[in-house]
């Protein structure tokens, strides 16, 4: 970025720009080299201007949520990383409609866990599965996050996106989600930012909802590694099987590469147990893929996104 581009970037946002900023602090893996700049976008009017500026100047950029599904390279990212701030973190509720749905609107930067707890407090059923998923609403829509046989796609009424060309709201019938992905995301413009999502939920029995949430959180505590940085499930589950089962069956629990290790507790979690680099995690990933392919003939596909 040249000086004039730096000055323009700083002038476009209300928050101070963080220059040459290490990204490991923005990922749950605690891995990632520096970005040229990290920008928190607090105000709604700032985002379209930023995206137009990046397009005009042909600058590289990325949006991240909580970085809980990301592996960022050791040499970092040669561009601007955006994070949705204040005005993208709200939650609002509508009254029940004629189909008994209650629409909940959440900003793309809102924590999914906070949204889930907010709904549980109001006795709204449908997002219990999401309590304990540590991402943002925006990142979780891109990932079609899910657990316990449920996924976000089933609860979404509409998604609002911002691109350099402006804002658009896409309704449910035009959205096509797959397993841990949004299939037709690319159709709505290059590099769209999810800024708002409307979920359609139902009034439920508050005690049953709370009980379900307690059960899910207890299961997470019992089955997931504690105390080490990680990015949740590393691989997608193959059809009718589980990546964790295959990795465990190949005897790979506890396998280490540099500071990265296949968790002893849950074989589909890679943990950063000793200052792991992205290169360590990638070596571990390749080793695991190779052994599982040899033993079971199955290609494991990463769920984690890379940049």
Ligand X SMILES: Cc1cc2nc3c(=O)[nH]c(=O)nc-3n(C[C@H](O)[C@H](O)[C@H](O)COP(=O)(O)OP(=O)(O)OC[C@H]3O[C@@H](n4cnc5c(N)ncnc54)[C@H](O)[C@@H]3O)c2cc1C
Candidate segments 92-100, 114-122, 130-138, 277-285, binder of ligand X by CB under 6 A = 130-138
Interface with ligand X includes 126 (CB under 6 A)? Answer: no
Nearer to ligand X, 63 or 261 (CB): 63
Cβ neighbors of 87 (< 8 A, separation 6 or more) are: 42, 43, 44, 107
Interface with ligand X includes 76 (CB under 6 A)? Answer: no
Interface with ligand X includes 138 (CB under 6 A)? Answer: yes
Catalytic residue of the set 180, 191, 220, 245: 180
Interface with ligand X includes 107 (CB under 6 A)? Answer: no
* Helix 3-12 and helix 46-57, axial crossing angle in degrees, nearest 10: 160
Which parts of 194-268 fold into alpha helices (H)? 206-223, 243-249
Structure tokens at 205: 């029995």
Cβ neighbour number for residue 44 with a 10 Å cutoff: 15
Interface with ligand X includes 65 (CB under 6 A)? Answer: yes
Interface with ligand X includes 89 (CB under 6 A)? Answer: no
State the minimum distance, in angstroms, from the CB of residue 98 to ligand X: 31
Q: Write down the number of H helices and E strands in the chain.
A: 7, 20
Interface with ligand X includes 70 (CB under 6 A)? Answer: yes
Cβ neighbour number for residue 78 with a 10 Å cutoff: 13
Q: Which one of residues 23, 35, 51, 63 is an interface residue with ligand X (CB under 6 A)? A: 63
Catalytic residue of the set 111, 140, 158, 233: 233
Maximum C-alpha span of the chain? 58
Q: What is the dihedral of CA 133, 45, 192, 12, to 10 degrees?
A: -100
Candidate segments 17-25, 120-128, 144-152, 234-242, binder of ligand X by CB under 6 A = 144-152
Interface with ligand X includes 193 (CB under 6 A)? Answer: yes
In angstroms, the CA 111 to CA 218 distance is 20
Query: How many chain residues bind ligand X (CB under 6 A)?
Result: 31
State the minimum distance, in angstroms, from the CB of residue 99 to ligand X: 27
Interface with ligand X includes 147 (CB under 6 A)? Answer: yes
Cβ neighbors of 210 (< 8 A, separation 6 or more) are: 120
Start-to-end Cα distance in the chain? 19
Nearer to ligand X, 130 or 246 (CB): 130
303 is a catalytic site residue: yes
In three-state secondary structure terms, 9 is helix
Interface with ligand X includes 39 (CB under 6 A)? Answer: no
Interface with ligand X includes 101 (CB under 6 A)? Answer: no
Binding site for ligand X (CB under 6 A): 28, 62-70, 84, 108, 133-136, 138-140, 142-143, 145-147, 193-194, 224, 230-232, 305
Which residue numbers are catalytic? 180, 233, 303
């Amino acid at each position: 970025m040249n000086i004039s581009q730096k000055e323009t970037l700083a002038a476009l946002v209300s928050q101070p720009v963080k220059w040459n900023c290490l990204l490991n602090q923005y990922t749950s893996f605690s891995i990632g080299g520096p970005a040229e700049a990290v920008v928190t976008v607090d105000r709604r009017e700032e985002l379209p201007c930023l995206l137009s500026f990046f397009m005009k100047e042909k600058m590289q950029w990325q949006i991240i949520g909580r970085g809980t599904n990301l592996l960022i390279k050791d040499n970092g990212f040669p561009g601007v990383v955006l994070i949705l701030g204040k005005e993208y973190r709200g939650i609002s509720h509508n009254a029940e409609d004629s189909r008994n749905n209650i629409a909940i609107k959440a900003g793309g930067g809102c924590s999914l866990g906070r949204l889930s707890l907010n709904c549980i407090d109001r006795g709204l059923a449908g997002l219990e599965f999401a309590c304990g998923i540590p991402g943002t609403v925006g990142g979780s829509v891109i990932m079609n996050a899910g657990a316990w046989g449920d996924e976000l796609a089933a609860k979404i009424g509409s998604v609002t996106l911002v691109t350099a060309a402006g804002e658009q709201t896409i309704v449910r019938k035009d959205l096509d989600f797959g397993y841990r992905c949004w299939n037709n995301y690319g159709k709505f413009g290059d590099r769209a930012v999810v800024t708002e999502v409307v979920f359609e939920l139902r009034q439920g029995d508050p005690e049953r909802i709370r009980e379900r949430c307690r059960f899910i959180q207890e299961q997470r505590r019992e089955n997931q590694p504690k105390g080490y940085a990680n990015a949740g499930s590393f691989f997608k589950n193959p059809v009718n099987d589980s990546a964790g089962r295959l990795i465990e069956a190949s005897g790979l629990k506890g396998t280490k590469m540099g500071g990265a290790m296949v968790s002893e507790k849950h074989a589909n979690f890679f943990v950063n147990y000793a200052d792991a680099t992205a290169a360590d995690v990638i070596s571990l990933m390749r080793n695991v893929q190779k052994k599982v392919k040899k033993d079971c003939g199955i290609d494991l596909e990463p769920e984690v996104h890379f940049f």
